[in-house]
Structure 1
Amino acid sequence: MTGVKKFWPKNRLKELVAAPGGIRASDAVARAEERLETISESCLAGIDAKIEELSALSVARGVEAGGGQAIDRIYQLANEIFAEGGAFGRVALSTAAHSLCDLTGPGNENDGGVWDAIEVHVQSMRVRHGVHFGANFPAP
């Protein structure tokens, strides 16, 4: 009968954490927040453009882009807004985008009645992000 051999593989993460010269988690988070701040303006402007594209798709009700393709694009844009809104602390915007993802996501049966709900979500995202409807609409 042979003896049992135990094998302990090297854990690279354990070695890195134990190595001198690292940074504390709080310092890493602070650095990440500083880096996010440098790109926040362009990302938030990108969210404005995505909301405008969502608005155009919802007003057209998918006729120009083809119903299914328009729904897929709406889902993609909402998913991007969900992620970017969360990264920049826009919780209310991110929540509205997530709800739109639930509405238009894969596996949902989207009939003609979905367009009114999409429009409501888009308007909600506009308000929550501060994109104005026009001169008569008060700033949020």
Structure 2
Amino acid sequence: MSVVRKFRPPNRLAKMIKDSGGLMAKDAIIAAEAGVESLREVSLVVLDDTLAEIERRFGPSAVDRNAESFEDLYALSMRIIDVSTFVSDAGVDQAAVSLAATTDSCAEAGAWRWNAIDVHLHALRLLRTVGSQLPAADRQSMIEGLHKVSHR
């Protein structure tokens, strides 16, 4: 009878897991969540400042809004989308996407559609202040209405 010898190559991953100094998955997730959470305050400040700038430059009471550029409003809309993670339950990001689409269509036409822009600005203000408190169906209906306006 012959003897069978088994050979097991070393498993680097198993060794790394057993060695101290590594990070457990649950600890890595907790650290990542804390890192993201540390961005909450600054993101909300940027969001509110951006909304205020849009209102000041492109709102109904803006002195010289016809002289503003489509690119500037588009860039401001993108900034809202970038920092709206912490208010994703309010629909602000979706309204900003619709505002960007509206701005893009204005740029293509070479003319402002102020009634469409004003509706979006009003919706953004409303969603930022009470969007997360609205029933989901009402919020979704508002977003769908904005999308209809932006595609008109």
Say which structure is richer in helix. 2
Gaps of 5+ in 1: 1-14, 132-138
Q: How does 1:46-65 map to 2 (within 5 A)?
A: 46-59=46-59, 60=62, 62-63=65-66
Structure label with greater radius of gyration: 2
SS at match of 1:105: helix
Structure 1 residue aligned with 2:35: 35
TM-score normalised by length of structure 1:
0.63
Evaluate the alpha carbon distance shift between residue 19 and residue 78 of structure 1 in structure 2; reply closer, same or farther with a 3 A threshold.
farther
SS at match of 2:65: coil
Evaluate the alpha carbon distance shift between residue 112 and residue 23 of structure 1 in structure 2; reply closer, same or farther with a 3 A threshold.
same
SS at match of 1:51: helix
**Is residue 96 of structure 2 the alignment partner of residue 93 of structure 1?**
no
Task: Answer yes or no: is the 8 Å Cα contact 2:46–2:83 preserved in 1.
Answer: no
Q: How does 1:1-140 map to 2 (within 5 A)?
A: 19-20=16-17, 21-24=22-25, 27-59=27-59, 60=62, 62-63=65-66, 66-67=67-68, 69=69, 71-86=70-85, 88-91=86-89, 92-105=91-104, 108-130=107-129
In 2: Cα distance, 1:126 partner to 1:52 partner: 9
Q: Report the identity percentage.
A: 26
Report deviation, 1:33: 2.2
Report deviation, 1:42: 2.2
Q: Provide the aligned length of Structure 1 versus Structure 2.
A: 112
Aligned-residue Cα RMSD (Å) equals: 3.1
Deviations 1:48-101 (A, max 9, x none): 1100111122233633xx34x2x2111111101112113x24240000011111
